[in-house]
Amino acid sequence: MRVVLWVAVAMVATGCLPGGDGGGDPVDGFRPADGGSPTDAAPDARPADGGARGDLGVGPDGGGRRDAATGEDATARADAAPAQDGFAPDVAPSDAGPDAEAALDDAGPTADAAPPADAAPPVECPAGADPYPAVEPRLEGRFAIVDAFPSAHVQPRRVTLYLPADYATRPAERWPVLYVHDGQNQFDPARAAFGNVWHLDRALDAAVAAREVDPMIVVAVDNVAARLDEYGPSVDPERMAGGRAGEYGRFLVEELKPWVDHHLRTRCGRLDTGVLGSSMGGLVSYFLLREYPDVFGRVGVVSPSFWWNGREVLEWTDAVADGWRPGTRLWIDGGNAEGNDEDGDGRSSVLADTRAVVEALDGAGVPVGALLYHEDVAGRHDEPTWAARLPMILRALWGAPLDGPPEGLTIRPFGALEPGARVAVSVDAAWAGPVRLTLPVAEAALASDAPDVVGVLGDTVQVRADGDAVLHARFRGVEASLPVGVAPPVALSFVVAVPPWTPPEDTIYLRGDAAALGNWDGAPFALMRDDDGRWRGSIEVPAGAMVEFKVTRGGWETVEKGAFGEEIANRVAAAEEGAEVEVEVQNWADLPR
């Protein structure tokens, strides 16, 4: 992939899960469990380390400023004899590990999705023993649940399987499989660590109904109290955790996957096997691609904790690139409202980390289409944000290849292109689906007749003086342009409602990453109380800027909190002319209710 970004001088015109752990019927076709009735080892509430969102550090005294802890296509189905009750397997799966499955990379769709032109002949799963023949799930609608899946490598935990709608009525069909970390955060809010879920079942069903992806089996694997240890590839000395991702990987590859392939009618080849996770779950998904490139061919790395252990992921580039297999797809994304902006270029630390990994892979020869990167401009480090991105993730990983030209390009600066400023620039490409990818800027050139622009370095442009320069980008024959000049500031207004127990003598302030808001550590911006009891104020910021902020009553010890006193993510506002941001404070750090 080559993206060309250059500058030229031009004159510019003005201008469900069924909730309980009990009940449900045993699934026909599974043997009874041996011995006792083990309990679910995974917690139903917030894990000890904070769950998927516990990896996002907050600033001093809760200010939300510390860094985030934060192809081909599917293997064709085999025509198999009908299975009794729609569950019993008709071929034996493999437990021999990645080498035994290296030859299973053929492609082919089911009848539910538009087939790619390069569909391959069907294959069967290699033979192997069932590692846990006594494990028997119970069936609750389309969910099959094992309350405590055993393991020789990690602590037992709940595993929830979500089956295709017509799994039982199409007994000759075989299905792709997607393994998902932090399983309790996928379906049922009552079990989710923070009360919010990805709604993976709904997103998948909608994508199947739209014929964007094939139906598939989802295997949601709960985390346990040792989540940081299991998802951390190495021991992070600052956290004193991690180092057991290898054991977690062995659990998935040597125990859980063979059991799933043995008991369900799966397509068990690499291009039909995916893994997906966010935060530390995103980190361990990338680790699993490095360790098992012949097992996982669809890898989703969402808001990953690439900061882990001194950003050791940057040392994995050669291993990942050398192990890359034809047809593999890797999704990496991040939000600009998670983590710090340590270098002041407008990008959050999460985006800085993900871009570093993506550009390293791009430099190692992994092309766009196989490497799928997305920058979510206002994306936060939470389940609602990840749920909103999920339809695009499913389409990009499991849908038709993005091997043609995009429908359009957008040049997106992280701040105003002002004289003397160094401004980060991203280039986005849009495809139908919709899928929006952020492109690595692999090649940059500066027009010799552009005296107003000092240079373009990677994806960063430095403007020396006012002028009518134009920034251009080109990708797969599609072009976009953006004027380079001084963007006029716009007024961004705020209206803040506070809890009734707020002391009437107190003043309400905003702290944030804009200069007018004190750049987090400076003097906060004071609001004025209106006749209706709400607090109002307006600041000037560059047009198009994304402003992060929180409400306080002065210092960070009085910062706003969630309804139950919990930390909340930084608020985000887009600077558009006439924009008014309404905020309702739920609670205070020093005056909880």
The full DSSP string for 529-548 is E-TTS-EEEEEEEETT-EEE
CATH code linked to domain 489-588: 2.60.40.10
Is residue 44 predicted with pLDDT exceeding 60? no
In which band, very low, low, confident or very high, does the pLDDT at 235 lie, cut at 50, 70 and 90?
A: very high
Per the model's pLDDT, the better-predicted residue between 309 and 454 turns out to be: 309
Is residue 70 predicted with pLDDT exceeding 80? no
Radius of gyration of the chain (CA): 25
Write the pLDDT tens digit of every residue in 180-233. 999 999 999 999 988 899 999 999 999 999 999 999 999 999 999 999 999 999
Q: In whole angstroms, how far apart are CA 115 and each of 76, 402, 449?
A: 10, 14, 49
Report the candidate in 124, 134, 160 with the shortest Cα–Cα distance to residue 24.
160
Q: In whole angstroms, how far apart are CA 420 and each of 397, 417, 486, 544?
A: 41, 9, 11, 19
Q: Look at the alpha carbons of 377, 383, 388, 391 in this order and tell me if their dihedral is positive or negative.
A: positive
- Report d(CA 578, CA 411) in Å as an integer: 23
Query: Quick one: average pLDDT of 239-249?
Result: 96
H/E stretch holding 396 = helix 383-398
**What class does CATH assign to 38-124+139-398?**
alpha beta
Residue 534: half-sphere exposure toward Cβ, Cα within 13 Å:
13
- Report d(CA 39, CA 222) in Å as an integer: 13
Cβ 588 vs Cβ 494: under 8 Å: no
- Domains of the chain by residue range: 4-13+411-484, 38-124+139-398, 489-588
Query: Quick one: average pLDDT of 106-114?
Result: 35
pLDDT of res. 469: 63
Average pLDDT, the chain: 77
**pTM for this entry:** 0.68
Per the model's pLDDT, the better-predicted residue between 191 and 441 turns out to be: 191
Number of other residues whose CB lies within 10 A of the CB of residue 449: 8
Query: Quick one: average pLDDT of 10-14?
Result: 28
Q: Look at the alpha carbons of 249, 250, 251, 253 in this order and tell me if their dihedral is positive or negative.
A: positive
Cβ 193 vs Cβ 386: under 8 Å: no
Phi/psi at 565 (nearest 5 deg)?
A: 85, 10
| 338 Cβ neighbours under 8 A, 6+ residues apart | 56, 68, 70, 303, 348, 350, 379, 380, 381, 569
- Report d(CA 273, CA 295) in Å as an integer: 7
Residues 53-63 as b/e (b if ≥16 CB within 10 A, e otherwise) read bbbbbbbeebb
Is residue 26 predicted with pLDDT exceeding 60? no
Write the pLDDT tens digit of every residue in 47-57. 333 344 434 33
Residue 164: half-sphere exposure toward Cβ, Cα within 13 Å:
27
In which band, very low, low, confident or very high, does the pLDDT at 289 lie, cut at 50, 70 and 90?
A: very high
Phi/psi at 256 (nearest 5 deg)?
A: -70, -50
| 449 Cβ neighbours under 8 A, 6+ residues apart | 8, 9
Give strand pairing partners of 92.
none
pLDDT of res. 364: 94
| DSSP three-state, residue 301 | strand
Q: In whole angstroms, how far apart are CA 169 and each of 36, 165, 166, 285?
A: 33, 9, 5, 33
Query: Quick one: average pLDDT of 170-186?
Result: 96
Report the candidate in 97, 83, 88 with the shortest Cα–Cα distance to residue 126.
97
Asked if the bond preceding 434 is cis, omega within 30° of 0, the reply is yes
pLDDT of res. 520: 86
pLDDT of res. 591: 92
- Report d(CA 400, CA 11) in Å as an integer: 40
Is residue 476 predicted with pLDDT exceeding 90? no
